[in-house]
Amino acid sequence: MSPRTDEEIDLFNQYKNEFNKLSLENIGNYFVGDHKYDLQDLFFLYNLVSYFNAPGEQALTGLFSDVKDKGLIKDFYAYENYFDRHESLTDQNISMETVKLWATLKGSVYTTSMSQVWATAGETYSSILME
């Protein structure tokens, strides 16, 4: 969801307002053991699995900008914030192949040097060295 025109921005804001109201509803709750996931959590999980919570035309990521302070969404952003501040991705604890797999977005290129470019291959997100 990347609104560009005033009309799209107005519609997007309307979607966000309605999405924010989902936390007020007591419908669509899904339980795993004693833990309750509400509709916002379920939409967030869908977006996380389907689009890696990255912005994009089809992704729902923009909807979560106003609800980062509750439930699963809050927990995810707290974990992400902690990881960014306290963990380092070095070749001692993660392989370069894994970094390339996750750093290379579908349809983009990842430059390792001036003479080598890593590109994603189709739906598998695997990297191919192009010289």
Mean pLDDT of 49-65: 88
DSSP state of 28: S
Confidence of residue 88 (pLDDT cuts 50, 70, 90): low
What pLDDT, on the 0 to 100 scale, is given for residue 6?
93
Q: Which two tokens stand for residue 95?
A: 């392989």
C-alpha–C-alpha distance, residues 86 and 104, integer Å: 23
Confidence of residue 117 (pLDDT cuts 50, 70, 90): very low
Confidence of residue 110 (pLDDT cuts 50, 70, 90): very low
Ordered by start, the domain boundaries in the chain are 6-86, 96-130
Using the structure block, give the residue that is written with the tokens 């349809």.
107
The lowest-confidence range among 28-32, 71-75, 93-97, 102-106 is 102-106
What pLDDT, on the 0 to 100 scale, is given for residue 14?
93
Residue 90 has pLDDT above 60, yes or no: no
Residue 33 has pLDDT above 90, yes or no: no
What are the DSSP E strand ranges found in the chain? Answer: 30-32, 35-37, 109-111, 117-121, 126-130
Q: Which two tokens stand for residue 4?
A: 């560009």
The lowest-confidence range among 11-25, 74-88, 112-126 is 112-126
Q: Which two tokens stand for residue 98?
A: 């894994």
What pLDDT, on the 0 to 100 scale, is given for residue 103?
58
C-alpha–C-alpha distance, residues 113 and 128, integer Å: 14
pTM of the entire predicted model: 0.60
Residue 16 has pLDDT above 70, yes or no: yes
- Bigger pLDDT: 50 or 99? 50
